[in-house]
Structure 1
Amino acid sequence: MTRQSPVRSGHLMASLLLMIGLIGLVFGPVSASPLTRLTLGTSSVGGTYFVWGGGWAKIMGEHVKGVDISVEVTGGPATNIQLIQQRKMDLGFTTVSMAYQGWNGLDWAKGKKHDRIRAIFPMYASVLHIYTLESSPIKTIYDFEGKRITTGAPGSTSDVAGRDVLKLLGITPKKISSLPTNTAVDALRDGTADAGFAVTGLPGPFMLDLETTHKVRHIGLSKEDLDKITEAFPYYSAGVIPKGTYKYQEGDVPTVTFWNVAIADKDLPDDLVYNLVKATFENKEALTKVDPNAAQMFAEGIKYSTVPLHPGALRYYREKGIKIPERLLPPQ
């Protein structure tokens, strides 16, 4: 029997190891559980969506095996919907009002129906702030007539809602400026704006900042106006900024509220979405440490969605015994 020399055996072993190394370089590490990489559309840096998204993505990475979520800076709700429709994003955050308009091709969607989006879980309610300085002669929203008004960044929920409300109530300002909230606050401070709209969770960081330098008047809406608004825009809800939220409130401030929802591309695997939704609610306490607004998150809140659910999300809510309205069932 022929025996190989130790030297030749060593050469064969070295060659084999070299080949394995080269395969590893070409194909990457072998893994029993391939990593699923997802992208999440949020908002501008420092925005609630961006902060919320960073915390949520980290928690999902820790509790959903094999998932890695990359948090992307975007223009906010409408942009997130558009990116999912274009298959450039897997997940996103939006308000139910923007989702409704996108799904039906209304307003900002300009006739294009964004039919790839599916709701997966409710997040928290944002509130429409209508405000001016206490030194201003403006007392009600009708005093916005002929004044310089700021809304929000172009295409933001604040921008759309502010313009919707003004148009519906027949109010014509001298000028409407679509400015990011921090820029709008600066305009109010330096006298180049008279009043503004802003949509955010409670308390709004921009308002806390403004109240450190100026006394603020929080402007509420009458029941008659709220009824008119919610009838015209079924995706808006009546709510309040509770007394004590801000330093210069005299009581509850009646206003419009908007639920925020997480959305996903319709083609994401059902099991993946189910696990994301399940892990989200099981880690609510951790999310609340990221953003106190997460305390508002409850499974029954999915009823506030204005677009159908992803099948994976539907499975979770049915397991919890939550009745889902027919309008939210996934299209066949």
Structure 2
Amino acid sequence: MAASAMLAAPAWAETRVTYKSAKAGTSYYQMGVQISEAMKAGSGGDIVVTVEEGQGSVQNVMEVRARGADYVFTTPPSLVGLAQGGKAMFEGKSDPAFDEIRALFPIPSLTMHFVMSADSGVETFADMEGKTILLGKGSFGAREGEKYLGLFGLEGKVTIADAELSNAVAALKNGQIDGFVTAGSWPAPNVVEAAASTGVTVLSLSDEQVAETKRTRLVIPAGTYAGQGGDIVTTSLPVVAYTTTKMDDDTAYELTKTFWESKGRMAESAAWWAGVDAALMSTITGKLHPGAIRYYQEAGMPVTEDQM
């Protein structure tokens, strides 16, 4: 019996977590892989994170109804609010489990990029009139891009290219399009490629335009992309890693602590982590997990009364 107990002891110390984010091949799936590796290294192997391919932020939230204490998922805070209120895509699908969702830590935001070729001469949104733009299909970036064209008086004044976003860089290089719209973490790989290979201008929004979008203001620092001489002011949709109250406080604490202590090392291999800092805590509009709150209070990081 003593021998059996000794053999079993390491298993007791191991915490297994399922992390569900986005489709394989996306930057957010890759972030999940990086978080998994960071958790293993940062915890000395005590935290084992299995990354699952997700089918979208809404589905990630819906799965809360059937998942257990080991479930961690990513989604924008706004969707959690809609789920808890039974609104929009969650109308008629309310569930008590949604009220038990709790935040752990922010991850890189979905950041809007309006990317124009240098040859197009476009420097502002007004300059886009008469140009050909690729929005892609079905994605957050495509929907948001179409919304901004309407908000800024460009509806019907630009030609929308009928192509997939995966073809954007090639289409820009061969002159088929004047620009494309993409949303993702920054630096965005397709923008990096376009800036390095053909030269681009990433458009900035005025403060008035940012206010019109009703999204979160975000600044991409100068020098992020080749040829970018100044800061880019754009908009973003915050994204957060969540769990539920089913997760025990100690596990939530260790996940949150290990994430923040590993973030600097992750940023050395993937620049998008450099954009995650204490300032993003304000984008978490729902409640934090008590275990996460314990870490934030120890670390002296900001936590509001609404997040408690």
* TM interval, short-chain normalised: 0.7 to 0.9
Number of residue pairs aligned between Structure 1 and Structure 2: 297
Which residue of 2 is the match for residue 218 of structure 1?
202
Within 2, Cα distance between the matches of 1:103 and 1:82?
Answer: 11
Asked if the contact 2:124/2:204 (under 8 Å) is kept, the reply is yes
Within 1, Cα distance between the matches of 2:73 and 2:162?
Answer: 23
Percent identity reads 28
Does 1:121 pair with 2:121? Answer: no
Does 1:94 pair with 2:75? Answer: yes
Which residue of 2 is the match for residue 3 of structure 1?
none
Residues 103/186 of structure 1: CA separation in 2 closer, same or farther (3 Å cut): farther
Which residue of 2 is the match for residue 49 of structure 1?
28
Q: What SS does the corresponding residue of 1:74 show, helix, strand or coil?
A: coil
TM-score, structure 2 normalization: 0.78
Shift of 1:196: 2.3
Give 1:124-273 correspondences, 5 Å limit: 124-136=108-120, 138-142=122-126, 149-151=133-135, 154-156=138-140, 158-173=141-156, 181-189=165-173, 193-229=177-213, 233=214, 236-273=215-252
CA shift digits 1:57-89 (9 cap, x unpaired): 122224446432111222444443333355388
Which residue of 2 is the match for residue 276 of structure 1?
255
Q: What SS does the corresponding residue of 1:56 show, helix, strand or coil?
A: helix
CA shift digits 1:266-310 (9 cap, x unpaired): 322222111111122222333223423323433463222122212
Match of 2:11 among 33, 39, 50: 33
CA shift digits 1:246-271 (9 cap, x unpaired): 22335332211343321123322222
Asked if the contact 1:85/1:117 (under 8 Å) is kept, the reply is no
Asked if the contact 2:83/2:90 (under 8 Å) is kept, the reply is yes
Asked if the contact 1:42/1:49 (under 8 Å) is kept, the reply is yes
Asked if the contact 1:308/1:327 (under 8 Å) is kept, the reply is yes
Residues 79/184 of structure 1: CA separation in 2 closer, same or farther (3 Å cut): farther
Amino acid at match of 1:159: A
Which residue of 2 is the match for residue 69 of structure 1?
49
Q: What SS does the corresponding residue of 2:108 show, helix, strand or coil?
A: strand
CA shift digits 1:33-55 (9 cap, x unpaired): 34443211122334322222112
Shift of 1:188: 3.7
Residues 295/214 of structure 1: CA separation in 2 closer, same or farther (3 Å cut): closer
- In the alignment, structure 1 segments of 5+ residues that lack a partner are 1-23
TM-score, structure 1 normalization: 0.73
The worse-fitting range, judged by mean Cα deviation, of 52-61 and 171-180 is 171-180
Asked if the contact 2:115/2:191 (under 8 Å) is kept, the reply is no
- In the alignment, structure 2 segments of 5+ residues that lack a partner are none
